C-alpha cells in the first residue's frame, strides 16, 4: 500500500473579470462581463443574475441589463497568471498548470515540514490576494479529482481541504454533475438509472456499471465513486533555480556592506527553498560592477543544500576570489541563486568532508537554526526576524535571475 497523496487544486475565481475589477476600481462590486459577442468571463455579481461563461452576449444582456461589458486585455491576464504561478511554485515542489487560471499542486510530504494542505491552501489564498490582488479558491484532497470537486464546492473565494475521513462522505453527497468529466449528457444517462448522486453510483458494482455504460465509461464511474485516481501532478516546466538579488546604490561599499547583503540574500533564497521543499547543489553569485557590467561565479557542491549557512559560505568564498576586482571596479548589485534543484524531502546520504572544508568536530545540525527562523517568520511575518547585520540596511531587494520566478515572500 502506498502512502496517501496530498493534492491541491487552485482556481482563480472569475479570473478575467476579477483582473478587470482589480485594475479598475469603478468595476469593483459590480456585475462585469468580459467579452462582447460571447461571454468570456462573468464576475460573481453577474453570475448571480444567471450570466455564464460561453453564453451569447445578447442573452447575457437580457439576464443582467446593468452589467458592464469590457473587452478582454490578454496581456494583463497572462501577466497575472504568471505572477500567480510564481506563488504556486514557491509553495509546492510539483505544480501542474491546467489552464491560465487553475493548477494542481502536489504537496505530499510537506506536512512533515509542518505545512499541512490546509495551511498551504490558506497561505496560497493570502499570498495571491496580497501579491496579485485576486481571489483564489483552493480545494485539497488525496486525489486530483476530489481536490477539484472540493475547490468547486468552496467557491467563490474559499478553501476546502478534506481530511482523509471526510473524503468519501463528501464525495458521495455530491450530485453527479459536480464530478469533472461528467457533463449534461452523462448526467441524463445516469438519471435514467435513478443515479443522481455519487452515492447512487457507489451503490452499483463495477460489473453493473460496465453493463450500463460500457467498459470505459463504467470503469471510470466506478473509479469516481470510490475516489480511485492515481493521476500524478506533473509540472511540465519545473522551477530550475531560486534566486534573489540586492541593488546597491553607487558605491563605494565596504566589504562589510556587501557581506551584509549576502547574509540577507542567502537567508531569503534558502527560506524560499525550504518553503518549497527543494534543495540545490549549484550556488551562483552574480555581481554587477560599478560600470554595470556583470560577472557570475558558480560552484557545485557534492550534496544538495537548502541551508542558509552553506549557501552563504559558498557565496562568500566565490566573492573572496574576486575581491581585488570588486574593490577596483565597485559593486552596484549582488545576487545569489541556487540551481541543480532536487526535492529536499528525500532522505539524504551525508558524506565525509574529504576535501577538507569541514573537520569532524564542526559538523553541526545545519537545519536547526534555519527551521527555527522559518517558524517565526511563518507565524509573525517576514519582518519579524532580522539577522543582526541586516538591521538598518535598506530593502531594495529584488528577485533574480528570472523575474518570473519571483517568490511570494520577497521584501
In this structure, the number of other CB atoms found within 10 A of the CB of residue 126 comes to: 13
Exactly one of 26, 58, 256, 350 binds other proteins (CB under 8 A); which one? 350
What is the helix (H) or strand (E) element at residue 138, kind and residue range?
A: strand 136-141
Q: How far is the CB of 263 from other proteins (least distance, A)?
A: 23
Rounded-to-integer distance, Cα 148 and Cα 104, Å: 8
For cell 549582488, what's the residue?
334
For cell 530550475, what's the residue?
240
Considering the complex, state which of residue 21 and residue 142 has its C-beta at the smaller distance from other proteins.
142
Q: Which stretch binds other proteins (CB under 8 A): 7-15, 160-168, 344-352, 390-398?
A: 344-352
Note whether 287 and 322 are within 8 A (CB).
yes
Binding mask 74-113 for other proteins (x = CB under 8 A): -----------------------------------x--x-
Considering the complex, state which of residue 148 and residue 304 has its C-beta at the smaller distance from other proteins.
304
The active-site residue out of 45, 94, 96, 102 is 102
Rounded-to-integer distance, Cα 92 and Cα 270, Å: 14
Q: How far is the CB of 231 from other proteins (least distance, A)?
A: 16
Annotated catalytic residue 102? yes
Exactly one of 25, 291, 349, 411 binds other proteins (CB under 8 A); which one? 349
Rounded-to-integer distance, Cα 162 and Cα 141, Å: 5
Is there binding between residue 359 and other proteins (CB under 8 A)?
yes
For cell 581585488, what's the residue?
324
Rounded-to-integer distance, Cα 124 and Cα 127, Å: 5
Q: How far is the CB of 111 from other proteins (least distance, A)?
A: 11
In this structure, the number of other CB atoms found within 10 A of the CB of residue 194 comes to: 8
Is there binding between residue 365 and other proteins (CB under 8 A)?
yes
Exactly one of 363, 369, 375, 376 binds other proteins (CB under 8 A); which one? 363
Is there binding between residue 58 and other proteins (CB under 8 A)?
no
Please give the backbone phi and psi of residue 391, each rounded to the nearest 5 degrees, phi first.
-60, 125
What cell was used for 135?
Answer: 481571489
Considering the complex, state which of residue 276 and residue 331 has its C-beta at the smaller distance from other proteins.
276
Is there binding between residue 3 and other proteins (CB under 8 A)?
yes
Considering the complex, state which of residue 207 and residue 357 has its C-beta at the smaller distance from other proteins.
357
Is there binding between residue 230 and other proteins (CB under 8 A)?
no
- Report residue 305 CA to chain centroid gap: 21
Q: What is the DSSP string of 85-141?
A: HHHHHHH-SEEEEEETTEEEEE-TTGGGGT--HHHHHHHHHHHIIIII---EEEEEE
Is there binding between residue 291 and other proteins (CB under 8 A)?
no
Is there binding between residue 356 and other proteins (CB under 8 A)?
yes
Exactly one of 78, 348, 372, 375 binds other proteins (CB under 8 A); which one? 348
- What are residue 82's DSSP bridge partners? none
Q: How far is the CB of 282 from other proteins (least distance, A)?
A: 17
Catalytically annotated residues: 102
Contact residues for other proteins, defined by CB under 8 A = 2-3, 109, 112, 302, 345, 347-356, 359-361, 363, 365-366
Amino acid at each position: 500500500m502506498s502512502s496517501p497523496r496530498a493534492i491541491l487544486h487552485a482556481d482563480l475565481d472569475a479570473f478575467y473579470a476579477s483582473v478587470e475589477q482589480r485594475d479598475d476600481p469603478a468595476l469593483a462590486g459590480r456585475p462585469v462581463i468580459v467579452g462582447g459577442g460571447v461571454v468570456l468571463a462573468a464576475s460573481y455579481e453577474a453570475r448571480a443574475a444567471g450570466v455564464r461563461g460561453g453564453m451569447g452576449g445578447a442573452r447575457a444582456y437580457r439576464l443582467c441589463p446593468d452589467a458592464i461589458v469590457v473587452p478582454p486585455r490578454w496581456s494583463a491576464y497572462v501577466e497575472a497568471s504568471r505572477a500567480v504561478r510564481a506563488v504556486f511554485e514557491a509553495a509546492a515542489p510539483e505544480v501542474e498548470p491546467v489552464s491560465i487560471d487553475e493548477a494542481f499542486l502536489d504537496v505530499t510530504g510537506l506536512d512533515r515540514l509542518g505545512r499541512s494542505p490546509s495551511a498551504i491552501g490558506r497561505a496560497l489564498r493570502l499570498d495571491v490576494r496580497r501579491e496579485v490582488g485576486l481571489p483564489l479558491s483552493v480545494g485539497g484532497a488525496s486525489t486530483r479529482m476530489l481536490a477539484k470537486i472540493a475547490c468547486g464546492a468552496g467557491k467563490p473565494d474559499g478553501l476546502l481541504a478534506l481530511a482523509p475521513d471526510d473524503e468519501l462522505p463528501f464525495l458521495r453527497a455530491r450530485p453527479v454533475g459536480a464530478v469533472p468529466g461528467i457533463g449534461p449528457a452523462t448526467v441524463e444517462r445516469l438519471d435514467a438509472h435513478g443515479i443522481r448522486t455519487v452515492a447512487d453510483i457507489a451503490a452499483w458494482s463495477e460489473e453493473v456499471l460496465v453493463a450500463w455504460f460500457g467498459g470505459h465509461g463504467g470503469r471510470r464511474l466506478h473509479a469516481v465513486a470510490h475516489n480511485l485516481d492515481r493521476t500524478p501532478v506533473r509540472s511540465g516546466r519545473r522551477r530550475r533555480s531560486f534566486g534573489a538579488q540586492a541593488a546597491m546604490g553607487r558605491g563605494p561599499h565596504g566589504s562589510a556592506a556587501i557581506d551584509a547583503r549576502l547574509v540577507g540574500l542567502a537567508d531569503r533564497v534558502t527560506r524560499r527553498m525550504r518553503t518549497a521543499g527543494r534543495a540545490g547543489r549549484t550556488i551562483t553569485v552574480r555581481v554587477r560592477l560599478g560600470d554595470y557590467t556583470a560577472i557570475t561565479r558558480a560552484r557545485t557542491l557534492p550534496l544538495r543544500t537548502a541551508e542558509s549557512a552553506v549557501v552563504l559560505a559558498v557565496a562568500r568564498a566565490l566573492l573572496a576570489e574576486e575581491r581585488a576586482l570588486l574593490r577596483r571596479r565597485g559593486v552596484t548589485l549582488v545576487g545569489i541563486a541556487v540551481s541543480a534543484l532536487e526535492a529536499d524531502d528525500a532522505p539524504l546520504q551525508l558524506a565525509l568532508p574529504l576535501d577538507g572544508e569541514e573537520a569532524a568536530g564542526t559538523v553541526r545540525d545545519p537545519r536547526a537554526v534555519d527551521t527555527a527562523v522559518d517558524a517565526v517568520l511563518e507565524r509573525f511575518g517576514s519582518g519579524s526576524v532580522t539577522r543582526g547585520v541586516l538591521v538598518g540596511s535598506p530593502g531594495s531587494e529584488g528577485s533574480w535571475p528570472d523575474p518570473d520566478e519571483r517568490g511570494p515572500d520577497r521584501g
